[in-house]
Each structure stands twice: as C-alpha cells, then as structure tokens.
Amino acid sequence: MLALDNRTLLTVTALISIGSAVALFSLWRSQSKPNGSAFWALGMSSVALASILISFRDAIPDLFSLVVANSLYILGFQLILRGIRIFVGRQPLVILDYALVPISAALLCYFNYIDQNLNIRIAVVSLAFMIICTNVVITFLQEKNAPWRSAGFAVASMFGLFGLIHGIRGAIMLASPLEHYFMANNITASLVFLGGIFIIAGMAITLILLTYAVLESEFRILSQAVKQSASSIIITDRTGLINYVNPAFIETTGYRAEELIGNKPSILKPGEMPSAEYSNLWESISSGKVWRGEFYNRKKNGEYFWEIASIAPVKQRNGEISHFVAVKEDITALKEAKKHIDHLANHDTLTGLPTRKLAMERLSNALAHAKINNRKVAVLFVDLDGFKAVNDTHGHDAGDQVLKRTTKRLCACVRDVDTIARIGGDEFLILLPNIVNIESIRKVTERMIEAVSAPYHLGSVEVTVTASIGISLFPDDDDAPLELVKLADHAMYTIKHQGKNNYMFTNRYCSV
C-alpha cells in the first residue's frame, strides 16, 4: 500500500466533517424538541475546524496548528458526548465536560513548549479520545430497553472502534522510544487518517440514523395508538377530503376505508346540526382553534347515531394548517340513557304520566302561548272518589291496576296537545291549552267523569270509583300557574263536599 499525502487526507477529513456538521445542523433544525443534535452539529464543526488548522501545520504557529487544533478535536468529541447524554435523557458528565479539554490543552502546551515530546502529545490526545468514546459506549449500553437500541448500538460500535484505535495508538506512542513526526507521509499515518475519515463519516451517519430510529419508533407507537384506539379517528386535508380513517371509525359507520378516502365527512349525511353551526365549526378550525360538539350521523345501513367530536387543526412547523384530525365517540347509548333518566325524573313510574314538575313547566309554556294568541287555558284538578276503599279492601296491586286503567280512560278523553299528569296517589292534573269556549271544557270533563265511573273488572272482582274535578281558567281566574292549580284544587274539594262524581268551575262558572 502506498503512503498518501497527509495534508490531502486532512483536507478530506475537514470536508467530511463539514458535510457531517451541515447534515447534523439540518437534522437539529428539523426537530421539534431538544434531543442533543445541536451539540452533535457543534461537535462535528469543531472537528472540521481542527482538521483545517492541522492541515496548515507548517504554515501557522504551533499554538494554533497543534494546541488549539487538538483541543478542538477533543472539544468536538466532548460536545458529541454531551449531545448523546441529552439524547438518552441522562445528566451531563460535569467533571468530564469542564475538565478534560483544559487539562488536555495544558498537557499539550507543556509537552510542546517546556518538555517537548511528540509521542506523549499524541498519547494525550488518544487518551482523551478513548475516555470520551468509552463514556459514549457505556451510555448506550445502559439503555437496554430503549426502542432505538439497535441504532444506539451502531453508534456505540463506531465510537468504540474509534476509541480502541486511539487507545492502541496511544499505547504504541508511549512504548516507542522514537518520536514520530505527525505529518510524515507513511503507511501508518495514512491508515490512521483513513480510519479517522471513515469512522467520523460513520459517526455522523449512525447519529442521523439514531435520530430517525427514534422518530420511526415514535411514529410506530402513534400509528398503532391511532389504529388500536377505541375512538373513531378521521384525518382530512384542508379542503375536508378524508385522507385516513382508523378501524374504529370503519367499525362504527359500516363503511369500508376505500369508500371513505377521498370523500368528505358529509358522506355520513349528518343531521340535527344547523348550517350556522357548521359555519362556526369551519371558522373555528380554519383559524387554528379546536372545535368540540356533537353530530347526529348515519351509518351505511341507514341507522342514525350520536357522536361527540373534537376536531383540531394539524399545523406544520411554519404554522400553516395542513390537515384536520377529528376524534369521535359514539354516545348513542349515553343519549338514550340520559333520555331514559330524564323520562324517569319527569314521569310517573306506575302510569308513565308526567310528574307535577313537568306539568308545571308545560302549564307555564301554555300560558305564554295563550297570551300571544289570545286563547284560554283550562286547568283540571282530578281526584278519584272511593280509591282508598279499593286499596284497603283489595290491596295495593288492585289499586295500581285501577290507576293504570284510569290513566288510559282519561287519555282517551283528551287531545294529543293536552297534558295529563299524576301529581299524587289518586290525584291528576289535566291541562287543556288553546281553548276557544267554555262548552268544549264541559264536554271533555263530562266524558272523563263518565269514563272513570264505569266499573273496573279485576279478575273476579268488580270495583267502582268516580271522579271529582275542579276547573280553573286562564286568564279569567288568574294568570299565574301555581294560583290556577290552587284554584282548581279548591274547586275540586268543594265538589267533593257537595256529593262527588261531578265537576265545578272556579268562581262564576259552576256545574253541580
């Protein structure tokens, strides 16, 4: 093998180092969070500058071409080690960071200006490299469970090889009685420089691969998380065209991925959302804000379902929105449960009729509409005569049967817009909105009394109850809901005392 010109090899080393520094700097600029790559770029830049200074060994003073240049080599590797410690999430080696370069520089100065000894100078530099490379190897070997451990071992191998070569070189220099001129063109020097070139390039490549191994690992985790998420996830471009749907979305909607990709989410034919709300949705996410709300969508089989959704913009490093991601949960069962709970809270469990609370809400609404349309509202307070005797004689099961059948009989006497509520054991409140004249109230009330008084056949037993009904009118008697109920209640008790099984209007409207 022919010896190569060392200045040429140093120039190549400098060019390789500069190229590596540029690549690592670009890598650092592309990262969204600190990961040590900035120290890698600075370290490789320091190595490049050191190579340039050494290549001018005979043209510039020893202070720069020897002491400063070799110190820059050590500093470069020290910076790379610090970046690696940051990358793996470990604390920097403070003593090594602040002591190694100054001590090495002091020794280089001593053995160049006071006790000139080239071999020891080479050994000092080699020892510094060996210490740094050993710490790099130890740092990576400690990360046994990291998802990027294979790429980490590759980096450790490059630094380990570099440290081993310099350890051998330093030992040879210390053992050799002869001084070897650093810039001498011989096979040994050529091998050292060529090895350094390939290893430095390998270091840069493996460091870049290490970063991308981390990114690939993170991407794989995120990808699996999205795929295996129980929530429906959909990603669209800026125009709203679907780019991706996860398996949960496919399972929920019944559509195949190929039927959805390239279409807009409107393929689900959403309903129950006003156009103004859609405009607000797009205005929010287009301006970079997160929108949260509910959709009433339709599956492929035509079944409708409720979803709660969170839609967020995906921004690039320059702040531009490139995509939108929606995370959805099917809340149909929750809606049904809430509806059932609301029904239980506002309806009697035995008869299914509205409770007093719901009846009073409907009465307030009916009065408000009546004021606008100049109509009357009738409030009927119904109490069953003889119901207590049924309970006492035949038991509560028989009483429950009477209440259920009475409910059906009363409902058959009124319109769909009317309300019948159970407000007590055997008491009912009936609301008749949009009444035009008093005669229509009389007819409804008389039908109720006749229906209730018909015999109830409970197996082999026949029982009879009757109804006493008090009636108040809006606006004739009062315009407050509670007062109208009180007046109807008073009229009902009056008719009970007068003989039962009849009805009575409050004040001037009376029937006995």
> Based on the domain organization, do 353 and 304 belong to the same domain?
no
Pairing of the two strands 232-237 and 321-330: antiparallel
198-232, pLDDT tens digit by residue?
A: 888 888 888 888 888 887 887 888 888 889 999 99
End position of a domain, from candidates 226, 247, 275 = 226
Q: Are residues 145 and 102 both part of a single domain?
A: yes
- Judge whether 336 lies within some domain: no
510 in any annotated domain: no
Q: State the pairing for strand pair 242-245/232-237.
A: antiparallel
CA separation (Å) from 174 to 71, 119, 121?
Answer: 20, 6, 10
Q: What are phi and psi of 466, to 5 degrees?
A: -130, 175
State the chain's mean pLDDT as an integer. Answer: 87
CATH number of 38's domain: 1.20.1070
Residue 97 shares a structural domain with residue 167: yes
What is the token pair recorded at 91? 């604390």
| C-alpha–C-alpha distance, residues 258 and 167, integer Å | 60
Pair 413, 321 in one domain: no
Element (H, E) at 288: none
Greater model confidence, 184 or 296: 296
**How many Å apart are CA 237 and CA 321, to the nearest integer?**
9
DSSP-assigned beta bridge partners for residue 182: none
- Residue at a domain's end among 226, 260, 282: 226
In a shared domain, residues 209 and 255:
no
Asked whether residue 429 is domain-assigned, the answer is yes
Q: Are residues 170 and 210 in the same domain?
A: yes
* Per-residue pLDDT tens over the stretch 450-476: 999 999 998 888 999 999 999 999 999
Instruction: Evaluate whether residue 286 is within a structural domain.
Output: yes
Residue 256 is assigned to a structural domain of this protein: yes
Sign, Cα dihedral of 150, 155, 160, 162? positive
Query: 44 near 17, Cβ under 8 Å?
Result: yes
Which residue type is seen at 500? K
CATH number, domain with residue 260: 3.30.450.20
How do residues 395-425 score in pLDDT, each as one tens digit? 989 999 999 999 999 999 999 999 999 998 8
What is the pLDDT confidence band of residue 509, given thresholds at 50, 70 and 90? very low
Are 380 and 443 contacting, i.e. CB atoms less than 8 angstroms apart? no
20 lies in some domain: yes
317 and 356 inside one domain: no
Tally of domains in the chain = 3
Instruction: Tell whether 88 is covered by a domain.
Output: yes
For 471, the domain range is: 347-505
User: Using CB atoms within 10 A of its CB, is residue 33 exposed (0-12), middle (13-18) or buried (19+)?
Assistant: exposed
Query: pLDDT over 70 for what percent of the chain?
Result: 93
How far apart are the C-alpha atoms of 481 and 267, rounded to whole Å? 48
Domain limit, last residue, from 287, 304, 331: 331
56 with 199, same domain: the answer is yes
Q: DSSP H helical segments within 2-144, as ranges?
A: 6-30, 37-55, 62, 69-88, 94-109, 118-141
* Residue 70 confidence (pLDDT) above 60: yes
Beta carbons within 8 Å of 63's beta carbon, 6+ residues apart: none
Dihedral, 389, 395, 400, 405 alpha carbons, nearest 10: -60
3-state secondary structure of 20: helix
Same domain, 255 and 292: yes
Indicate the DSSP class of residue 68. I
| Residue that has been written with the tokens 């320091």 in this structure | 46
Assess whether 151 and 251 both reside in one domain: no
Statement to judge: residues 272 and 176 lie in one domain: no
pLDDT at 512 over 50: no
Write down the pLDDT at residue 181. 52
Is residue 193 located within the same domain as residue 243? no
Q: Could you tell me if residue 342 is inside a domain?
A: no
Which H/E stretch holds residue 293? strand 291-298
